[in-house]
A = this chain, B = another copy of it.
Amino acid sequence: MITGFETADIRFPTSLSLDGSDAMNPDPDYSAAYVWMTTDAGDSGHSFVFTIGRGNDVQVAAIEALRERFVGRDADELLGDMGAVWRDLVHDSQLRWLGPEKGVMHMAIGAVVNALWDLKAKRAGLPLWELLASMSPEELVGLADFRYLSDALTRDEALEILRAAEPGRAARREQLLSDGYPAYATSPGWLGYDDEKLARLCREAVDDGFELIKLKVGGSVDDDVRRLKIAREVVGDDVRIAVDANQRWDVGEAIEWMRALEPYDLAWIEEPTNPDDVLGHAAIARGVSMPVATGEHMANRVMFKQFLQAEALQVLQIDATRVAGVNENLAILLLAAKFGVPVCPHAGGVGLCEAVQHLSMFDFVAVSGSIDGRVIEFVDHLHEHFVTPVEVRDGRYLAPTAPGAGTEMTTRG
């Protein structure tokens, strides 16, 4: 039985060092709206929503509003039908009015769903990616919700995708355990850093084995060109460089700006404009020569569906705490597989690396079956606050082996 439901408002003063500074977020204070549920069996499940400071209290209040849905409930029953848990919360008509399926309330649902996944994985004695990759295609489609998706992906099509990936599961699991999963480095490129620090961090990233680095852009074209020249000179031609505008531009502005950066052989332009703008991203994708990447601020699977239908993104960036948890990210992974688009998760922040690595590894083993063109963001920051911090070596995430979802913190605020 679930006997405890606790929350904490955890904030780190990251704005002091300009870590995480970009064109839209000049001074984030990386924060977590943290939740953990305890049971009468003495175990617990932990998760959180990542925010960047102000409003973290509102996010905590939204999670608290879900307390009554869990305390006193039979944990085995909840964990035995995680699809039903998800649908009961997301389709609750009164809560749904607050979105629908977006913003603070939707992320709160994601946090409690993910806390249960942490508990379920711990009880199974498996890291989350292995737990998910041990489930049958039928069990997995039962977790996803195809409501509003059927014009792009039906339950039967999802089942086919998962069945097609079954034969290779064991071999890919072994490959993950021996080689890990490719990471890319964002640490060098925050806008608040000066050129000297940029160059030094680029060099360190290459020395650390990263094959892709990402720079923030969108302050001024001249600054972007200068910083890209520095980065390209330091990393050489074999390391890929992506850029991230963090929603800075209008549609026309994005196309014009990115044409000025075309000479620098960019891996992708990330978040060129507002994350709700399906048609805008489609226009940008048609107007520039590099792939368009987005997703970290995309509210739900219905938005991802449209971005794929409209060919508005070529790199799909899931986030572990933006949508309603593992179940919704599973639906998004299935959509990406259907459309043949690589998933390169957003991470960094507080615990996003710890959380999202499980989804990419599960995707490789049991959904897309591919690691080609895929890479998980990595920022070497705040990992010490997690019980099982990520391990990144030679530019690759090592497959976690500890039971759970990686989302348990060492601090409770």
Contacts and interface: CB of A to CB of B under 8 A. Distances in A.
Interface of A: 24-29, 51-55, 57-59, 61-62, 65, 92-108, 147-151, 247, 250-253, 273-280, 283, 297, 299-300, 302-303, 305-306, 309-310
A287 to B, nearest CB: 11
A300 B303 CA distance: 14
Contact of A306 (B51, B277, B297): B277
Which 9 A-B pairs have CB atoms at the shortest separation, nearest pair first? A103-B103, A61-B61, A54-B94, A104-B104, A151-B251, A53-B94, A148-B274, A150-B250, A25-B93
Contacts of A28: 93-94, 97
A276 B303 contact: yes
Contact of A250 (B52, B101, B147): B147
Given A97-B55, A148-B250, A104 B274 contact: no
Contacts of A309: 279
Contact of A279 (B57, B278, B280, B300): B278
Interface centre among A24, A276, A305, A309 (most CB of B within 10 A): A276
A98, A253, A303, A305 pick with most chain B CB within 10 angstroms: A98
* Number of copies of this chain that the complex holds: 2
11 contacts: A52-B97, A54-B92, A55-B65, A55-B98, A102-B102, A102-B299, A103-B105, A148-B250, A148-B277, A276-B303, A277-B302
A27 B251 CA distance: 42
Given A55-B62, A61-B62, A101-B276, 17 more contacts: A26-B93, A29-B94, A51-B98, A52-B93, A52-B94, A52-B97, A55-B105, A57-B65, A58-B104, A58-B108, A98-B103, A99-B102, A100-B275, A101-B274, A150-B251, A276-B306, A278-B279
A51 B277 contact: no
A76 B74 CA distance: 56
A283 to B, nearest CB: 7
A274 B97 contact: no
Contacts of A303: 276
Nearest to A98: B55
Nearest to A103: B103
Given A148-B250, A250-B150, A54 B95 contact: yes
Nearest to A93: B25
Contacts of A305: 277
Given A274-B302, A310-B279, A98 B58 contact: yes
Nearest to A27: B93
A314 to B, nearest CB: 18
Nearest to A251: B151
Contacts of A147: 250
Contacts of A103: 98-99, 102-106, 299
